[in-house]
Structure 1
Amino acid sequence: MTLRGNIFIFVSGVFLCLFDGVLSGFLTETLSLNGKWSLSNSNGSLSLPAEVPGCVHSALQKQGFIQDPYFRFNDVSYRWIAFDNWTYTTTFNVSKQKVLLVFDGVDTVATIWLNGVIVGNTDNMFCRYVFRDTLKDGDNVLKVSLSSPVLYASEQREAHSAYRIPPECPPDVQKGECHVNFIRKEQSSFSWDWGPSFPTMGLWKGVQLEAFDVLQLVQVSSVPLYNSSLSEWRVQVEILVDAVQTTNGQITLSIPELDSEQTFHTQFLFGKNKNTFVLHINMVLDTSLLQVYFRTVELVQEPIVRSPGLSFYFRINGKPIFLKGSNWIPAHSFQDQISPAKLFQPLFLFGLLCVFVLRNLLQSAVDANMNTLRVWGGGVYEQDLFYSICDELGIMIWQDFMFACAMYPTVDDFIQTVREEVSQQVQRLKSHPSIIIWSGNNENEAALATDWFNIPASQRPVYIKDYVMLYVNNIRKIVQDVIVRFFVSSPTNGAESEQEGWVAANPYDTHYGDTHFYSYILDCWDWRTFPRTRFASEYGFQSWPSFSTLQPVSIKEDWSYNSNFTSHRQHHEDGNRQMLLQAALHFNLPNSTDPLKRFTDTLYITQVMQAQCVKTQTEFYRRSQTEIIEGEGHTMGALYWQLNDIWQAPSWSSIEFGGKWKMLHYFAQNFFADVLPVGFEDADTLFILCCLRPESRPDAQGCGMFLPVTVYSWTHLDPVCTLKSDPLLVPGGSAVAIFKQPVAALLAGCGHCTRLTCLLTFHLEDSSGQQGPANHHFLCSPKDAQGLQRANITAKVQEDKTGLTVTLHSASVAPFVWLDAGNIPGRFSSNGFLMVSRNMTVSFKAWRPTSVAELSRSLTITSLTDIY
């Protein structure tokens, strides 16, 4: 149960409403300095208008000084931008002289000048900076001089001469910059294995002047508290106030929807004040009439019967929840391109049509039956709107702090800026009920424990000491001071890592914590290759995006799998070859003599491979939820890597840059469904399990389910035979075997079927009919299937009162049927499916006005045999 409500605050006669947790403007006059500024480089050779919020790359592109940074090889061509210094300048006129100059976000290293005088410096992209200044009558000139982040990081590295802080540079295949761990900015902006190197500079968030007479409200946050023994909710409200003189005040907190209100008398002392108040709630829990965002969250690590180690799962409002979802990376290299003002209208982002950006991506997660996203630690703490949408949509957030795949310095200046960063971000975000856990870093415990950076054994204690100082003695302490759930790293052994001095001997131990697992060579159709972990927080396989996504940033000579362009876009070592090797285990690779068709067919087969691989692995984790085998299991989370893309390139994502769903995301609609049948073989016996989420069956006694299994020949659309399991009572939150039969016996009972000539489909039913999606099980690799022939699928596009539909007709069984709308943005109700019927209709939801004629012209249909 997730509860939601507005908190109304009356402070000394001033009325406020707290919903998202961040407020400004309490007894304050605010003058926005957003809008048009001027921008120039260090030697004055470039001078141009620039928008604030914004960044240098965006300004240069908008004014025509550079092309689309994402086009072809421009990420390398435009390296010079990040090696220069840049200055933003604006002139403004105000009546008040004593003001606060507020920068919500500066990227990253800057000197602030006001009327020719230095008023402050910045060195952290993730911090809000406030300077007290006196203005003059008339025009005031504000300058922000930004230093090259690449040169700054290098200088900081040179200054740290005592010992190296690895890694020095990214792998060559990433075409990136060095020493990103020495600067507090988006770590992936110097490059990553799925993204380009664009070390941005700019005023990436708003700038304003704030003047106040007595009190300034800096920030308000609230945290719901639940007393289980009294069954009572309370709301702890924290108000940060800056007072120019000591004054008495009265604060009234009210939640009208819950008929709760209390008044508090308090004194605001000169300077900064933190005032905490607790509002007791009179709550009638009629959730059919009311939705309020309160919930309890527990991370449960406790002994498990018949297993060594500890559990690792989340209990939400007292119920254990299987977390289903993915990992979130920055949605764009240039954060100003996804600012709130641009989210609710179609717009061109460097030549690419992007629709609704954040909301579209987050809604796509919900529409694929996800309940959780992990905000990965190499990007940014997302904007307030991101978390507000997650609150609204019911998406739970696992929030990393922004440290990833590296060691970090622990000199005083670095620790101090990190402490300020952590304090501000926790204070800003702690009111959001969507955030259920904070993690100190991405993979840094594993990097240290398994020696990613070839650290000599004699020096290892130095790095462990640094690790504990940064993440435990500083970050953890700050987080726990504000009552936020936290563990130090991911992957981690959790409580066991703490017992081992915070760096476990094996952070990938399947008996504890969470696991990251990648294997591109082992057969992904063999479930035995996957670790039966307590929680899978990263796993996945690469694929290429569709041709319509690549086309705007490439030219004809690039449209080959072996072109310089496809090599340049692949930032994972040997990634292009690994995709084809994995695909070739079960599929015939494209062999058309037409170069363009061979290229587009290859893009298609990488998506088929990725979707089927992640499907197999995710279903393995879902069926491992309630089983313990040789001490392993009780898996309570599956978050595949990764949800979204930062540019048009091969990656592990299920959604392409621009919002188009890959085949994997359509598969996720099914493998994350609340009610799911999962088939697998063990010792030549077919097992089919019924997997239910706890909330999918509110009846504690469960529900009687049975399973029809239909056997098809690859050569015919008429079923060979249908088997049906006996009804079985399946409790919610479990994975129970509902069908078990040796494959040989199953085939012997179905006429002349063999492994090579037949395949299976199945679904779950109860007394009310089919529950959840249908699933399939291949008895052999499709490349070995006998009788599989070209389906010759035809399509008819129509429009009715519900919108556009596509009706398909197939002449034979067709695996992995893929509908592509080309350059028409939108998505189908189903895609990438196994077609075992002569006719099938799917709907298409367009994200811009279109027509039957346009969709008919743009639509292409591909199934597996079409690529041979």
Structure 2
Amino acid sequence: MTPRGNSRVCVFAVSFCLFSGVLTGFSSVTDRRQTVSLSGKWRLTNGNGSVSLPAEVPGCVHSALQQQGYIQDPYFRFNDVSYRWIAFDNWTYTTTFTASTQLRTKQKVQLVFDGVDTVATIWLNEIIVWKTDNMFRTYDFSVRDLLKDGDNELRVSFLSPVLYASERRKAHSAYRVPPECPPDVQKGECHVNFIRKEQSSFSWDWGPSFPTTGLWKDVRLEAFDVLQLLQVSSVPLYSTKICFKSFFFFFQSSQVKLWWPNGHGDQPVYHLAVGGFQDGFLILNTKSKVYFRTVELVQEPIVASPGLSFYFRINGKPVFLKGSNWIPAHSFQDQLTPAVLRNLLQSAVDASMNALRVWGGGVYEQDLFYSICDEMGIMVWQDFMFACAMYPTEDDFIQTVREEVIQQVQRLKSHPSIIIWSGNNENEAALATDWFSIPVSQRPLYLKDYVTLYVNNIRAIVQEEDQSRPFLVSSPTNGAESEQEGWVAANPYDPHYGDTHFYSYILDCWDWRNFPRTRFASEYGFQSWPSFSTLQPVSIKEDWSYTSNFTSHRQHHENGNQQMLLQAGLHFHLPNSTDNLKRFTDTLYITQVMQAQCVKTQTEFYRRSQSEIIEGKGHTMGALYWQLNDIWQAPSWSSIEFGGKWKMLHYFAQSFFAAVLPVGFEDDDTLFIYAVSDLTETGSFVDQVTVYSWTDLDPVCTLKSDPLPVPGGSAAAIFKQPVAALLAGCGRCTRLTCLLTFHLEDSSGQQGPTNHHFLCSPKDAQGLQRPNITVRHIVQEDKTGYTVTLHSASVAPFVWLDVGNIPGRFSSNGFLMASRNRTVSFTAWRPTSVAELSRSLTVTSLRDVY
């Protein structure tokens, strides 16, 4: 989407929905409505009636079975396989309710289901009122004439999602729609692309197979009277529900305060109240939060470079997107609490992130997710829920998708946090690079299906419903170039266009030359294991080995456990303790060290590439690593463990996403240090480089660069020196005996974090010794805050503090300790004490694990 319009004019659209659906003009309707919640206690039975139990709505079968003691924690050990039977059974939810005479005298009574997961028949008083087939849709129907005095019975009968998907696949006999099944290592179910349901619920390479069934959102009755309909706008009013599609207001930007992404400004909110009376009746009374901002996706030719730019301009300002990818935070959405949701999003902000991509194999997140993103300034790249597969295009499938897209766009489009819609995850790449071995003769058939679903339907709907943001058909994609090539580019990974996904577990992640110099990196990353305290509640003693059945079972990425050690072994000695438990916990630690250092190197490469074009590549304007959060306790690419504990990677992200950042790297044995600035104004920076010996905490020497102006929103080289000359100038250093730290300073002092550069692999370092780090003291500062002071005898890389199962967060962790003493703070998320922290605290550094 190229820039258009006057950037000084702010446009916003507000959607009002008092009941459901969307209207295009004012309706003169009374607001004297009556709402009866049907959420709460229901009855749940399985297909043959052998299981009958109470169940909460919103909820799902797995949660109900666990709450009533029929099953253990589904996440415990191998229960994801043990409980497969649940998804193969049919289940029925039943409740009874009374409908008052007052309610039944209203002109309209609607039965509303906000979320039905997934394939169900809905009965009211033994009469079928609807059949559902889409987890992502809201269903509502008129039931006034079906209600009666006394008890009314509402029954929702669900079909097994696994068996339904299989039957739909069998019915599609003309040609296969790949993939048939997930890889064996995922221990999942087949044909998920034939059901409009959370795709990852059938398994993924980071998550279990729990194909849920249930009423996962609220159920209610809504009753109201219709007085008359008025046509105020040019579009005739065609619905009797109190809803308004969109009112457009035009303001000069000087008249309003703009919403900015985190780190670029504030997120001011306006409260809009709309109300009115007619003939003594309140016809409209609603309130809405309103934010003002503009967004453009700029794809323009670049001077002296083939291809097109690819960056976001917010309120007329180019913004580098810093962040991660979001997956479902729980297999059972009813167990995802607002506190957990807020903590995860706050963790993103606290790591200086300004963007998250809601990945297309999960769910459209709940309203609270987007409201928090609005509040915190987190930009959202919103995928539609299609991922890593081809999809059928029968009329009924297309129709339910159309309803899904209309409803989700209407629900979400008033959120300023959402800056782009994307049709799918990786399906252009899957088709272009032949993931599924499609014969050449059949390729036009699949290309036609692709265009039918994503272009002729999803894209067309989005462009009709929401012209305020850009739309991409896929991710990764060449964007405008893919469109020119018929929507599926020959190479959707071309770094001269669009966004890129890149993974390599074999190439050395410390060598920046192995990464693509892309316009926008929307996925990249490395796996690690979570901490022992996260794994312990779902495992037993015999599982605590890197080669146990449990660790093999929990790894859903082919050869993932071996790949982590292979990558770690390039630069680190692997743990070799003779104590089995220590060797296991040390191995968990070394995978986190490897992941943090790898993602740090790659992210810093992208950030320093934003102002350069080298061999036609560069102007990188986004770095969204895979992935922010976990769905269970298992190895994955996440930086936050299930339960909210930060991995070492997330602590590193605090630094590598900082607004002002020094980035060091070598090219032809020359050390370069770049200053990266997200600031609005130009800053003048000096780079200070400190050389340390591995054996001594006193610096060997210190160097300073001349001041250099660095424009805001750019990266510039600020220091350049051959490594040999730098070391010769320090007198007694070699690559094997020394390392570097560096930071930026302006006239007021240090700006941004202190960074480090290893002159050799730590496994080759001469003089790296056990630092014998001791805890000098722990002091309670306030109700939840503590400080921990450490003392070290030598330079210690990757110092990791862990307090076991005490939930909370350190101010810094996984750091290079190049001083004798260091104090960090700890914020506890539950009541604790100095004594408990002292008993629980362990300190590990790299040299302690071999």
Q: Which TM-score applies when normalising by structure 1?
A: 0.89
For 1:350, the equivalent position in structure 2 comes to: none
> Residues 262-661 of structure 1: matches in 2 within 5 Å?
268=237, 271=240, 276-281=246-251, 284-285=255-256, 291-292=269-270, 293-338=291-336, 342-343=337-338, 356-482=339-465, 483=467, 484-661=469-646
Letter in 2 for 1:53: P
Whole-angstrom CA distance in 2 between matches of 1:713 and 1:25: 78
Q: 1:94 to 1:286 in 2, by over 3 A?
A: closer
Whole-angstrom CA distance in 2 between matches of 1:541 and 1:269: 52
Please give the secondary structure, in 1, of the residue aligned with 2:461.
helix
Whole-angstrom CA distance in 2 between matches of 1:744 and 1:441: 49
Q: 1:53 to 1:724 in 2, by over 3 A?
A: same
Q: Which residue of 160, 174, 178 maps to 1:166?
A: 178
For 2:848, the equivalent position in structure 1 comes to: 866
Displacement of 1:246 in angstroms is 4.0
> Residues 738-753 of structure 1: matches in 2 within 5 Å?
738-753=718-733
> Which digits, 9 at most, give the CA deviation of each residue in 1:164-218, with x for residues without a partner?
000000000000000000000000000000000000000000000011111xxxx
Whole-angstrom CA distance in 2 between matches of 1:51 and 1:504: 47
Maintained 8 Å contact 2:10/2:294: no
Whole-angstrom CA distance in 1 between matches of 2:40 and 2:433: 49
Q: Which residue of 60, 78, 84 maps to 1:55?
A: 60
> Which digits, 9 at most, give the CA deviation of each residue in 1:384-437, with x for residues without a partner?
000000000000000000000000000000000000000000000000000000
For 1:777, the equivalent position in structure 2 comes to: 757
For 1:857, the equivalent position in structure 2 comes to: 839
Displacement of 1:270 in angstroms is 6.1
Whole-angstrom CA distance in 2 between matches of 1:711 and 1:808: 22
Q: 1:194 to 1:491 in 2, by over 3 A?
A: same
Q: Alignment RMSD, CA only?
A: 2.3
Say yes or no: does 1:845 pair with 2:827. yes
Maintained 8 Å contact 2:15/2:414: no
Maintained 8 Å contact 1:2/1:291: no
> Which digits, 9 at most, give the CA deviation of each residue in 1:203-256, with x for residues without a partner?
000000011111xxxxxxxxxxxxxxxxxxxxxxxxxxxxxx643488xxxxxx
Q: 1:291 to 1:486 in 2, by over 3 A?
A: same
Whole-angstrom CA distance in 1 between matches of 2:603 and 2:460: 35
Displacement of 1:5 in angstroms is 13
For 2:115, the equivalent position in structure 1 comes to: 105
Maintained 8 Å contact 2:10/2:251: no
Whole-angstrom CA distance in 2 between matches of 1:62 and 1:626: 55
Maintained 8 Å contact 2:299/2:310: yes
Displacement of 1:28 in angstroms is 2.0
Whole-angstrom CA distance in 1 between matches of 2:138 and 2:443: 35
Letter in 2 for 1:627: E
> Which digits, 9 at most, give the CA deviation of each residue in 1:137-157, with x for residues without a partner?
110000000000000000000
Please give the secondary structure, in 2, of the residue aligned with 1:770.
strand
Whole-angstrom CA distance in 1 between matches of 2:229 and 2:155: 35
Please give the secondary structure, in 2, of the residue aligned with 1:706.
strand
Letter in 2 for 1:208: R
Maintained 8 Å contact 2:9/2:250: no
Q: 1:306 to 1:844 in 2, by over 3 A?
A: same
Say yes or no: does 1:799 pair with 2:780. yes
For 2:98, the equivalent position in structure 1 comes to: 93
Please give the secondary structure, in 2, of the residue aligned with 1:327.
strand
Displacement of 1:800 in angstroms is 2.1
> Which digits, 9 at most, give the CA deviation of each residue in 1:264-311, with x for residues without a partner?
899855656866433445863467995552110000000001110000
Q: 1:116 to 1:815 in 2, by over 3 A?
A: same
Whole-angstrom CA distance in 1 between matches of 2:838 and 2:603: 35
Q: 1:744 to 1:158 in 2, by over 3 A?
A: same
Q: 1:297 to 1:5 in 2, by over 3 A?
A: closer
Maintained 8 Å contact 1:11/1:249: no
Letter in 2 for 1:56: V
> Residues 5-44 of structure 1: matches in 2 within 5 Å?
26-44=31-49
Whole-angstrom CA distance in 1 between matches of 2:475 and 2:230: 46
For 1:207, the equivalent position in structure 2 comes to: 219
Letter in 1 for 2:293: R
Displacement of 1:849 in angstroms is 1.1
Letter in 1 for 2:165: A
Structure 2 runs not aligned, ≥5 long: 1-6, 24-28, 259-265, 271-290
Maintained 8 Å contact 1:324/1:639: yes
Please give the secondary structure, in 1, of the residue aligned with 2:730.
coil
Q: 1:78 to 1:125 in 2, by over 3 A?
A: same
Displacement of 1:545 in angstroms is 0.1
> Residues 42-81 of structure 1: matches in 2 within 5 Å?
42-81=47-86
Q: 1:725 to 1:276 in 2, by over 3 A?
A: closer
Letter in 2 for 1:866: D
Whole-angstrom CA distance in 2 between matches of 1:630 and 1:9: 47
Maintained 8 Å contact 1:3/1:295: no
Maintained 8 Å contact 1:248/1:266: no
Maintained 8 Å contact 2:12/2:249: no
| Number of residue-to-residue matches in the alignment | 796
Letter in 1 for 2:807: P
Letter in 2 for 1:77: S
> Residues 701-712 of structure 1: matches in 2 within 5 Å?
702-712=682-692
Maintained 8 Å contact 2:603/2:623: yes
Poorly superposed stretches of 4+, deviation over 4 Å: 1-12, 264-276, 280-283, 285-292
Whole-angstrom CA distance in 2 between matches of 1:723 and 1:594: 44
Displacement of 1:116 in angstroms is 0.8
Please give the secondary structure, in 1, of the residue aligned with 2:168.
helix
Whole-angstrom CA distance in 2 between matches of 1:379 and 1:519: 24
> Which digits, 9 at most, give the CA deviation of each residue in 1:780-829, with x for residues without a partner?
00000000000010112111248201001000000000001110101000
Maintained 8 Å contact 1:471/1:488: yes
> Which digits, 9 at most, give the CA deviation of each residue in 1:709-734, with x for residues without a partner?
00000000000000000011111111
Please give the secondary structure, in 2, of the residue aligned with 1:125.
coil
Q: 1:358 to 1:275 in 2, by over 3 A?
A: closer
Letter in 2 for 1:730: V
For 1:241, the equivalent position in structure 2 comes to: none
Matched residues, percent identical?
Answer: 80
Please give the secondary structure, in 2, of the residue aligned with 1:416.
helix
Maintained 8 Å contact 2:575/2:849: yes
Maintained 8 Å contact 2:13/2:249: no
Q: Which residue of 205, 220, 226 maps to 1:193?
A: 205
- Higher mean displacement: 790-799 or 826-835: 790-799
Q: Which TM-score applies when normalising by structure 2?
A: 0.91
Structure 1 runs not aligned, ≥5 long: 19-23, 215-244, 251-263, 344-355
Please give the secondary structure, in 1, of the residue aligned with 2:437.
coil
For 2:132, the equivalent position in structure 1 comes to: 122
Q: 1:841 to 1:406 in 2, by over 3 A?
A: same
Please give the secondary structure, in 2, of the residue aligned with 1:749.
helix
